[in-house]
Structure 1
Amino acid sequence: MQPDEKETAVSAAADDVPQTPDAQPEQESAHPDHKITGVLSWIMTMGITVAAVLLVCTFIARPGRVSGNSMQNTCHDGDFVILWELNYQPQHGDIVVVNSNNALGDNLIKRVIGVGGDHIVVSNGVVIRNGQRLQESYVKEQTWSGPNVDITVPKGQMFLMGDNRNHSADSRYIGTVSDNIIVGKVTVRLFPFNAIRTFQ
């Protein structure tokens, strides 16, 4: 690809232009209309920017703040994250936020362990999905306890668990959660600044 070419106006050399004693250089004059146009252009630019931000935050992505410790050591209390919501479908391993239309009545941040059709067995600190034991390096404590579960996740539902298994109220206690109450997938942690990271 060639760089854009720009036309340039080349002025003639001074020796080539006939000079007359009465010749006076033309002077540009400032018109009030130019200032008004500049202000209107600035207002339009700001309006478009605000509208774009509102559109993104309403339909595509939104900010959120982690409250609680159930996702340690992946996410911590007070972390500031960005949630992706446009056309999101839950996938194994994603970290999601669901709204308060669940058995606990609070917004929850958890990891997707199972989706519709998966057979999930939780037994003695081990998670088995469709006959395969999960290798969960993200879990805070490799030795953890809680209720044993044997369930096939209904269509349109998710089985969610926190990474801090010993301190997480999740699908082991409240059952599966509807896909319809997903607020979004956690894609980026922006704060604290020394721990910025992205999530697949």
Structure 2
Amino acid sequence: MDSETKETQELQRTEAAVQESAAQAEALPQDAAPAKKKDGPLSWIVTMAITFAAALLFCTFVAQPRYVMGESMQNTFQNNDFVFVWKLGYQPQRGDVVIANAHGTVLNEDLIKRVIAVGGDHLVVKDGTVTLNEKKLTESYIKEQKWGGNNVDVTIPKGEVFLMGDNRNNSADSRLIGPLSVSDVEGKVAVRIYPFDKFGTSF
């Protein structure tokens, strides 16, 4: 038998074996197919732990939900408004509404206030007017155009901010406790979520 004939026979036998295997596979009952492995409790616990850790890191370093407490930012914000505070890489800017840590001061609480002046600014608060770097501020956001409180004449140290509430007649702020360190500013109020009819970023 020559080599060409042998190769032909080998090829025929191989094809026959493949066809037989395919036929046997088709003949298997459907429930004989390998069952998909079900996820166990451990897999569920790991998934939940990862999700929780991701949410915790997000709220710690990126953005955090907060409730407005008190009346010091009326009429811009009301008590129990629900907001998100942006934290990641934030540096205070004049006009921003921020959450600041005033623990360790006579207020000993977190504050929601507006940044009026930053490091290097010369600020004068007198007889219900605010003068910043020798220019009188026009403040459309304050609750009452006539307001009182402590008078201030200060140049804000580098790395600090001067905060005031929009409800000037009912706000304990930097007029009482002085400027706060930038490191005490937790973040900027980026968006109001609730009440839904006031959802937005303009304040």
User: What corresponds to 1:12 in structure 2?
Assistant: none
Q: Using the TM superposition, give the Cα deviation of residue 108 of structure 1 relative to its aligned residue in structure 2, in angstroms.
A: 1.0
How far did 1:102 drift? 2.9
Structure 2: distance between partners of 1:30 and 1:82: 51
The residue that corresponds to 1:55 in the other structure is 57
Change (3 A) 1:171 1:34: same
Query: How far apart are the structure 2 equivalents of 1:98 and 1:155?
Result: 17
Higher mean C-alpha displacement, 123-132 vs 24-33? 24-33
Which residue among 80, 86, 91 is the counterpart of 2:82? 80
Q: Deviations along 1:163-198, whole A, 9 cap, x unmatched? A: 001111111122111111112211111112222122
Query: Is 1:129 aligned with 2:132?
Result: yes
Deviation of 1:40 (Å): 7.5
Q: SS of the counterpart of 1:158?
A: strand
Shift of 1:55: 1.3
Q: Deviation digits for residues 82-137 of structure 1, max 9, x if unmatched?
A: 11111111100111111223331111111000011000011221111111111111
Q: Distance in 2 between matches of 1:159 and 1:85?
A: 19
Q: Once the two structures are superposed, what CA deviation does each residue of 1:49-81 show, in whole Å capped at 9, x if it has no partner? A: 333212101111111111110000111111111
Does structure 1 residue 157 correspond to structure 2 residue 134? no
Q: Which segments of 5 or more consecutive residues in structure 2 lack a partner in the other structure? A: 1-25
Q: Give the stretch that moved more between structures: 94-103 or 107-116.
A: 94-103
Q: TM-score, normalised by structure 1?
A: 0.78
| Larger radius of gyration between Structure 1 and Structure 2 | 2
Instruction: Give 1:172's match in structure 2, choosing from 170, 175, 184.
Output: 175
* TM-score of the superposed pair, with normalisation by structure 2: 0.77
Residues of 2 paired with 1:36 and 1:179: CA distance?
48
Shift of 1:43: 5.9
Between the aligned partners of 1:31 and 1:122, the Cα distance in structure 2 is 78
Asked whether 1:114 is paired with 2:112, we answer no
Q: Percent identity?
A: 55
* 1:69 counterpart SS class: coil
Q: Distance in 1 between matches of 2:33 and 2:43?
A: 18
Pick from 152, 171, 184 the counterpart of residue 187 of structure 2: 184
The farther-off stretch of 190-199 and 63-72 is 190-199
The secondary structure found in structure 2 opposite 1:51 is helix
* Aligned residue number for residue 89 of structure 1: 91
Range that drifts further, 99-108 or 152-161: 99-108
Given that 1:186 and 1:199 are in contact with CA atoms closer than 8 Å, whether structure 2 keeps it comes out as no
CA contact (8 A) 1:102 1:177 kept: no
Question: 1:155 Cα shift?
Answer: 1.0
Deviation of the 1:28 alpha carbon: 6.8
